[in-house]
Amino acid sequence: MILCPVCKVKSYLIWRERQYRVYRCKNCKVAFLYPLPEDTSFIYNDAYFKNWYIKYHSERKNYIKKLFSIIERDIELKGKLLDVGCGTGILLEVAKEKGCEVYGQDISPFAVTHCRNKGFDVYDKPLPELNLPENSFDIITMFDVIAHFKDPVSYIKTVAKILKQGGYLIIKTPYHSPLLFFLSNILSFTGKSRALLHIPAQIFHFNYQSLNLLLSNNNLKLINSIIIDDFSLLDKPIFLRIISGKSLITMWQKL
């Protein structure tokens, strides 16, 4: 029996290819890779950040600015901000320009060094291992990272502790519809359908229901939930190769 890592309910197989399997929880409907990959750090090497972030810095920065303009319809971006999985610090740049006091967290030595060389304060351990003071941050952002954590539950529990009362958590994660899993199953015989699902890099495929269960159990209430078409926010076609087609953005407030 395969149990959901989020809510510990029995899950069922929805996709397979070679040694990879994806299950979906009967309760919260999260889809997840099982067994968990032992190590995915090789995916996020120096070349990854140089080729997909530093090379397209201006395109990504414009993209973040447009995302912020959507988020600011519901949340005022001010105060002390922590970006979890900050990468090369593009979100930190935009948030700082808006007047936020910014901090980053990443486990990639290359990304951490790059951000520190730009003058940012960046933590270099997984968030649950940092032992940060409770009630420390006004805003915590997780853009395209929660799907890659082996234990997203521990990250959300940590966020709930270090976020100030009334503070905000903003999560952005790829939105993969059931239709995409159906198509991937049809193409699994090719041995390449996992690319459609970003496997093995993407471990979890969250939806509104699974995120709501996870976060509401940790004293966080939903402010708004939006599915966006990433392509509509982009200016240059070459950037289409970098990100997935749709994303789910959810905004939460600590009670």
208-237 pLDDT per residue, tens: 999 999 999 999 999 999 998 876 666 554
Rounded mean pLDDT of 28-54? 87
Which of these, 109, 151, 159, 112, lies nearest to 132 by C-alpha position? 159
* 143-180 per-residue burial string, b: 16 or more CB within 10 A, e: under 16: bbbbbbbbebbebbbbbbbbbbeebbbbbbbbbbeeeb
Q: In what order do the strands lie in the sheet with 80-84?
A: 121-123, 101-105, 80-84, 137-143, 163-174, 246-254, 220-229
Q: Write the DSSP symbol of residue 194.
A: G
Given a cut of 50, is residue 242 above it in pLDDT?
no
H or E segment to which residue 68 belongs: helix 57-71
- pLDDT tens digits, residue range 74-93? 999 999 999 999 999 999 99
Tokens 């006004």 map to which residue?
138
**Alpha-carbon span 39 to 145, nearest angstrom:** 15
Which of these, 176, 163, 174, lies nearest to 215 by C-alpha position? 163
Given a cut of 90, is residue 186 above it in pLDDT?
no
Strand partners, 81: 102, 139
pTM: 0.92
- pLDDT tens digits, residue range 90-122? 999 999 999 999 999 999 999 999 999 999 999
